[in-house]
Amino acid sequence: MFQPPSPIYPVADIRAIEAHVAPLAQPTLMERAGRAAAEEAVRLTQDRTGHVLIVCGPGNNGGDGLVMARRLLQAGRSVTVAFAENPDSLPPDAAAAFAAWRAAGGETVSDFPGAPANGWALVVDALFGIGLRRPVEGRYARWIDTMNAQQAPRLAIDIPSGLDADTGAILGMAFQATATLTFIALKPGLLTLDGPDYAGTVHVHRLDIDPAAWLSPPGFEIRPAMVREFMRPRRQNTHKGSYGDVGIIGGAPGMTGAALLAGRAALKLGSGRVYVGLVDDYALPVDHTQPELMLKRPEQVLEQASVLALGPGLGTSATALALLERAARSDRPLLLDADALNLLADAPHLKAQVAAREAPTLLTPHPGEAGRLLGIGTPRVQADRIASALELSTRFGADIVLKGGGSVIATTTGQWFINTTGHPGMASAGMGDVLTGLIASLLAQGWPARSALLAAVHLHGAAADRLAREGIGPIGLTASEVAEAARGVFNGWIVKAARGR
């Protein structure tokens, strides 16, 4: 079944929603959060007995943990609370939670406790939450290190402590959760950069709040439901001309495989015709693996294709630059990837030309290419992936996918999206070329640029996920296998959409 897209809010927006709701909330948001966390703890430990360790910090995240501890204690569970701060310095709600914990008979320890003989049933991180902005140091760094070493399920409340909720960056060190229960809505840092490696399985508890009723979400997690309206079964009375002509230009000497991979992916996703213009003059006249591809001179592809995709194996020669200049002047949808982006980064006149295009333009950089396009280097791109993608979209008047862990899509409307499909097995040669082909194919079939980008990025990862479930990878997964699997996943989406599911 197609699930509705999940909204994503940065910390400032979550705080604004809380400010609206908190004065009216009965029970308080902290009581709701602690109750939800206790319920999650029961679920995670249903097959485990023994003590639950809850490590509480000096703010409201610690207060959530104290409410959780009280509820577990009242339910008959053995709970140990580690808390090293002066309770008099707690914020009001957290101070009330501490008092209620003590009134229920609960106690705290100020040093990290040794594990029981049979180990902890669950280790809970309630240290810092979403407001942390500086590196974790001193006692709490040591505590997190010890928590990460425990042989038990590890639950983070709202976000793993030490993980930047907006960017996914690690602030010195971070709690390594096996599960995260986040409140009200998803936060960007859970889904991109280092977030997926530290958050584990993420569950959202809305605390009986509809965040969109208070503030429109600036971003969404990508789901197939977002593009369902374009997933229509084909009419019987059609022909290959009904499904567009994709033109892939690339394949300089030694890199012809990149262009062929992109072309094969476009063909498998349903393009009527796929032209591949190889820069290598000595390339074979036919793709013996996929003879349906039409190999032509790049100049011919520029004239004949209804959608152009430049970059896979393109190289950075004078010939490649001339082809890019011609493509940028075209009135057709244009996708730029790989070396086309590197050429663009070094050519100011081309930057202006691309930014002035009226036809849809799509850029698909990895962080290194994005850094060159923005002139800021990879580390700064990765420091705030959403901001980097939005800046690229603004500068080039293009829809952008900033690839990587939790790929970020930014559109010319100012919206952004994060993709959660895919796995580390996709870190292999040719994966980006296959993505180029998938996007170009949907564009050629008449999909709007934004929808083509969202669907193809999600499909790319979903195909890899299906293969992993079938025992193909993740290690050793190839781009060719992903292109093949994408066809099956996409056809499954079409069938579901037709059935109204």
Binding residue numbers for (6S)-NADPHX: 60-64, 129-135, 140, 158, 258, 313, 366, 433
Written as one letter, the residue type at 38 is: A
Q: At what angle do helices 449-469 and 431-444 cross, to 10 degrees?
A: 130
Written as one letter, the residue type at 266 is: A
CA distances from 279 to 67, 354, 431, 432, 434 (A): 65, 22, 20, 19, 18
CA distance 429 to 445: 27
Query: Given the DSSP bridges, would you call strands 408-410 and 399-402 parallel, antiparallel or unpaired?
Result: antiparallel
Q: Which residues of 130-169 are buried (b: 16+ CB within 10 A; e: fewer)?
A: bebeeebeeebeebbebbbeeebbbbbbbbbbbbbbbbbb
CA distance 50 to 279: 66
Q: Which two tokens stand for residue 347?
A: 């050519």
| Partners of 418 in the β-ladder | 221, 408
Three-state secondary-structure class, residue 96: helix
Q: Of 212, 198, 189, which Cα lies nearest the Cα of 10?
A: 189
Annotated binding site: 60-64, 125, 129-135, 140, 158, 161, 258, 313, 366, 403-407, 432-433
Taking the CA of residue 136 as centre, how many other CA atoms within 13 Å lie in the half-sphere pointing to its CB?
25
Q: How many residues does the chain have?
A: 501
CA distance 187 to 15: 12
DSSP, residue by residue, 197-224: HHH-EEEEE-TT--GGGTS--SEEE--G
**DSSP H or E run through 295:** strand 294-296
Cα 389 to the chain's mean position, in Å? 12
Determine contact, residues 70/101, Cβ cutoff 8 Å.
Answer: yes
CA distance 209 to 446: 38
CA distance 110 to 112: 7
Please identify which residue in the block is written with the tokens 């892939």.
Answer: 248
Three-state secondary-structure class, residue 347: coil
Annotated binding site for K(+): 61, 125, 161
User: What does residue 357 show for φ and ψ, rounded to 5 degrees?
Assistant: -65, 145
DSSP state of 19: H
Written as one letter, the residue type at 109 is: V
Annotated binding site for AMP: 403-407, 432
CA distance 306 to 246: 6
User: What does residue 184 show for φ and ψ, rounded to 5 degrees?
Assistant: 75, -55
